[in-house]
Amino acid sequence: MEVEDRAQLCFPQFPNTSCRKPLSPWPQTVTIMLYSISLITVALDLLIIISISHFRQLHTPTNILLLSLAVSDFLVGLVVMPGEILRKSSCWFLGDFVCAMYIFFSVIIPTSSIGDMVLISVDRYVAICDPLHYSTRITDNRVKLCVCLCWFCSVSYSFLFVKDELTQPGWFNSCYGECVLVIDFVLGGVDVVLSFLVPVTVIIALYLRIFAVAVSQARAMRSHITAVTLQLSVTPKAKKSELKAARNLGVLVAVFLICFCPYYSVSLAGDSLVSASSASYVLFVYYSNSCLNPVIYALFYPWFRKAVKLIITLQILQPGSCETNML
C-alpha cells in the first residue's frame, strides 16, 4: 500500500512534502483538442505578424494595432495555453521560479490583448465618426506610443497581482509539484472592474456610436437621391452596407462577450460555487478569444488572404517582395 501511495506522488522521494498527482479535469480527447486550439492560435497569429511586418504597404496605424494584438494572442497560444494545460493536468516539475514567471506572463498577455482591443475600437471610432481628422489624430508615432503604453500598463498592472509570487517564488504552494496563485477578494474585484467591466463598456459604447453613424450616413445617402431609377439602384447597396456593418460589429462584440463573460462570472461566483472542471473549461473559452481574434480582425481584410497565399507559397522570400501591392 505504501508503494502504491508513493506512486501517486509527484516527488516520491519527498513523501511528506510532495503533492499528489492531480486528476486532469478534461478527458484525453479534450486535452488533445485544447493543444490543437493552442497550435491554431499560434499559426493564425504568426501569419498576421509576418504579413504586417513584411509588407511595407501594410504599415498603417490600424495594422500596428492589429500587430500588437496578434503578438499578445500569439503568446497566449505559445505560452499561456500549454502552460495552463500542464498546470491543470499534471504535476509541475519546472520549479517555483518558472511557475512565478508563467503566472506573471499569464496575467500580462491577456491584459495587453484587452488593451489592444480597446485601442482598435478607438481607432475605428475616429476613422468612421471623424474621418476628416483621422490622418492628423491617428498617426504612426502616436499609435506606436499607445501600444508601448498599453504593454507598460499591462506589466505594471500584472505586477500588483503577482508581486508576492515574484519576490517569494512558491509562496502560495502548499506542497512540491503545484503552481498556484491566490488573489484576495479585493484584488479580484478590482480585476473584474478594470479588466472586464470598463473595457466592455468602452468597446460597446464606441461600436454603438459607430453603428449609429454608419446607419445615419446610409440614410443620408438615400435621402439625397432624387431620381427614381437611381434610388432603386442605390438603395439595395445602402441596405447591404448597413447589414454588413451591423453583422461585423455584432460578431465583434458578441464573440468578445461570449469568451470573456463566463470567465468573469466564475470569478465573481467564487470557487465554492463552481466545480474545478467547469472552471477549467471556462478558462479555455476565455483564452480561445485569442484564436478568434485573428479571424474577426484580420480575415475580414482581403489583404490577409493575399498575404497568406504569398507566405505559404514562399513568395515572400523573393527579393523585393516587401514592396508587393497588397491593397
Please report, for the domain that includes residue 303, its CATH number. 1.20.1070.10
Q: Is residue 80 part of a domain?
A: yes
- Res 249: pLDDT: 59
More confident residue, 183 or 177: 177
The size of the chain, in residues, is 327
Cβ neighbours of residue 207 under 8 Å, at least 6 residues apart?
A: 121, 124, 125, 249, 252, 253
Cβ atoms of residues 69 and 120 within 8 Å: yes
Grid look-up 447591404 returns 240
Range of weakest confidence among 19-33, 57-71, 237-251: 237-251
Which contacts (CB < 8 Å, 24+ apart) does range 238-246 have?
A: 241/214, 242/214, 242/215, 242/218, 245/210, 245/211, 245/214, 245/215, 246/211
- Res 64: pLDDT: 92
**How many Å apart are CA 124 and CA 122, to the nearest integer?**
5
Cβ atoms of residues 19 and 99 within 8 Å: no
Cβ atoms of residues 114 and 60 within 8 Å: no
Q: What is the rounded average pLDDT of the residues 217-240?
A: 53
Q: Is residue 1 part of a domain?
A: no
First vs last C-alpha separation in the chain: 69
The residue type at 2: E
Distance between alpha carbon 1 and the CA centroid of its chain, in Å? 47
DSSP secondary structure string for all residues of 130-157 = SGGGHHHHS-HHHHHHHHHHHHHHHHHH
**How many Å apart are CA 140 and CA 65, to the nearest integer?**
10
**How many Å apart are CA 163 and CA 312, to the nearest integer?**
43
More confident residue, 283 or 98: 98
The total of structural domains in the chain comes to 1
Q: Is residue 10 part of a domain?
A: no
Q: Is residue 11 part of a domain?
A: no
- Res 234: pLDDT: 44
For residue range 108-125, list pLDDT tens digits in order.
Answer: 988 898 898 899 888 888
Q: Is residue 224 part of a domain?
A: no
Q: Is residue 160 part of a domain?
A: yes
Q: Is the model's pLDDT at 74 over the cut of 90?
A: yes
pTM of the model: 0.84
Range of weakest confidence among 32-46, 145-159, 175-189: 175-189
Q: Is residue 56 part of a domain?
A: yes
DSSP label at 25? S
Run of H or E residues at 44 = helix 28-54
- Res 143: pLDDT: 95
List the domain range (segments joined by +) for residue 71. 28-184+275-323
Q: Is residue 307 part of a domain?
A: yes
